[in-house]
Amino acid sequence: MSNLYVWEAANLFCGDEDPTKSKHLTLQNLRLPTLEEIFQDHHAGGARVAIEVGLGIKKLEPTFKLVGWDPDLLSQFGLGAKGKKRFTAYQIIRDKRAGTAIEGKAVIEGRLGKIAPDEFKRGDLLANDYAINEVTHYELYFDRREKFYWDFFINSVRIDGVDQNSDENTILRVPASV
């Protein structure tokens, strides 16, 4: 049965250590990572038509924008904060058929790699664009169900809870740990 799910609201925690550090009052926009496969063209010597060959998934690059200055995030930026942080985004997704609110959730581990302030203009709210780089872990949930899970260090990819790398990890003797 067809349905429409609309993303209505969001909140972001930049570092899950402190549950009081909600960004719900300053969050202006949030872009979850694009899931995009890497393809390379292959035109075989004896073939008349070329094909594309899938080779993996492109790096993940989430971004967000906050109104005003955020001193906590200034401290998390760049060389002064070499460790990764966990960023957790919560979304209200509205089931338009039933009218109910559904929880969306994304968990991202990476480093705050960009802070780009807007140009100052008197009378306008200044905001800052942020980027999370060096992403090594990503989870995406819809209605509390895991839709996508990826961890660089244990070479794990799950889609709808199904391990997509189990045969490769077994053959390569990659130790799995969660």
pLDDT of residue 82: 72
Scanning 67-133, the segments in alpha helix (DSSP H) are 71-76
pLDDT beyond 50 at 125:
yes
pLDDT interval class at 178 (50, 70, 90): very low
pLDDT digits (tens, 9 = 90+) for 1-12: 899 999 999 999
Q: Domain for residue 54, yes or no?
A: no
Q: Domain for residue 163, yes or no?
A: no
* Domains contained in the chain, number: 1
Q: Domain for residue 50, yes or no?
A: no
* Sequence letter at residue 141: Y
Phi/psi of residue 26, each to 5°? -115, -10
* Alpha carbon 152 to its chain's center: 14
pLDDT digits (tens, 9 = 90+) for 59-93: 999 999 999 999 988 888 875 567 789 999 999 99
Please give the residue range of the domain that contains residue 98. 5-32+61-143
pLDDT of residue 80: 59
Closest CA to 87 of 107, 113, 67: 107
Q: Domain for residue 96, yes or no?
A: yes
What would the mean pLDDT of 112-136 be, rounded to a whole number?
94
104 touches 91 (CB < 8 A): yes
CATH classification of the domain holding 116: 2.30.110
- pTM here is 0.88
Q: Domain for residue 153, yes or no?
A: no
Closest CA to 148 of 96, 108, 90, 112: 108
The larger pLDDT score, comparing residue 81 to residue 96, is at: 96
Q: Domain for residue 169, yes or no?
A: no
Q: HSE on the CB side for 51, CA within 13 Å? A: 7
pLDDT digits (tens, 9 = 90+) for 6-38: 999 999 999 876 778 899 999 999 999 999 999
pLDDT interval class at 150 (50, 70, 90): very high
pLDDT beyond 90 at 106:
yes
What is the gyration radius of the CA atoms in the chain, in angstroms? 20
